Chain A
Amino acid sequence: TQLLEQSPQFLSIQEGENLTVYCNSSSVFSSLQWYRQEPGEGPVLLVTVVTGGEVKKLKRLTFQFGDARKDSSLHITAAQPGDTGLYLCAGEDNYGQNFVFGPGTRLSVLP
């Protein structure tokens, strides 16, 4: 079973700051997804990246898939308290046999 690692595990920042969180694996993934989970709710899909080197933007969020399709990053510009939550990456291995979630990065944006 392939593992996805996420860093940092916890992040607490002030409103208006920028941040980047990472999702890494030693294995190649055919695609990676990012989810945000708010307290008391289920994860919500933010984006899917498929092509190595791909960059996708969702308002203040920028997602990048590594060239080798083993890692991904999520950058948030000018963070807001509404960005608070658990950010999960998830992906399917290159053989289409395993779909796994990372442990998540818990982000807290203070007003």
Chain B
Amino acid sequence: ETGVTQTPRHLVMGMTNKKSLKCEQHLGHNAMYWYKQSAKKPLELMFVYSLEERVENNSVPSRFSPECPNSSHLFLHLHTLQPEDSALYLCASSQDPTGNYGYTFGSGTRLTVV
């Protein structure tokens, strides 16, 4: 399978639940990202991993916890979320962390917090 695959595509969770989003890439890319896309807002960078090490964390609340066990897999662990966290969460990969070669995005996970 090629490209960037995200699961699940849709997720509804209560504020007390714990869930995880999964991202997988088979492009041989060295950098992976989590972005949040809300209505009427630009894409917000959440986390950047380069060669499995976190290189950027844009002041994201601790209720979001990323994990990158290897260069092909990226997780976003969620716990005690708020309704305002409802959004499309996009995973992306690129050849290097500069983004100069462009990003390959997954289809996203549409998260609804109730």
Instruction: Please give, as numbers and ranges, the residues of chain A lying within 8 Å of B103 by CB-CB distance.
Output: 33, 35, 43, 45, 90
Residue contact B90 to A42, C-beta cutoff 8 Å: yes
Chain A contact residues, majority secondary structure: strand
Task: Give the complex CA separation of A41 and B109 in angstroms.
Answer: 9
Q: Do A100 and B42 contact each other (CB < 8 Å), given the known contacts A42-B4, A42-B90?
A: yes
Among the stretches A59-67, A68-76, A101-109, the one at the interface with B is A101-109
Residue contact A41 to B107, C-beta cutoff 8 Å: yes
B32 interface residue (CB < 8 Å to A): no
Residue contact A42 to B98, C-beta cutoff 8 Å: no
B21 interface residue (CB < 8 Å to A): no
Residue contact A40 to B107, C-beta cutoff 8 Å: yes
Instruction: Please give, as numbers and ranges, the residues of chain A lying within 8 Å of B101 by CB-CB distance.
Output: 48
Instruction: Please give, as numbers and ranges, the residues of chain B lying within 8 Å of A45 by CB-CB distance.
Output: 102-104
Interface residues on A, range: 20 to 34
B62 interface residue (CB < 8 Å to A): no
Q: Which residue of B lies closest to A40 (CB)?
A: B107
Residue contact B108 to A41, C-beta cutoff 8 Å: yes
Instruction: Please give, as numbers and ranges, the residues of chain B lying within 8 Å of A104 by CB-CB distance.
Output: 42
B99 interface residue (CB < 8 Å to A): yes
Chain A CB count within 10 A is highest, among B41, B92, B101, B103, for B103
Q: Which residue of B lies closest to A96 (CB)?
A: B98
A84 interface residue (CB < 8 Å to B): no
Task: Give the complex CA separation of A31 and B107 in angstroms.
Answer: 25
B106 interface residue (CB < 8 Å to A): yes
User: Would you give the shortest CB distance from B29 to chain A, in whole angstroms?
Assistant: 13
Task: Give the complex CA separation of A43 and B92 in angstroms.
Answer: 9
Residue contact A44 to B105, C-beta cutoff 8 Å: yes
A21 interface residue (CB < 8 Å to B): no
Task: Give the complex CA separation of A61 and B104 in angstroms.
Answer: 20
B2 interface residue (CB < 8 Å to A): no
Task: Give the complex CA separation of A102 and B92 in angstroms.
Answer: 17
Task: Give the complex CA separation of A30 and B98 in angstroms.
Answer: 11
Chain B 69-114 residues near chain A, CB threshold 8 A: 90, 92, 98-108
> What is the interface of chain A, defined by CB distance below 8 A to chain B?
4, 30-31, 33, 35, 40-45, 48, 88, 90, 92, 96, 99-104
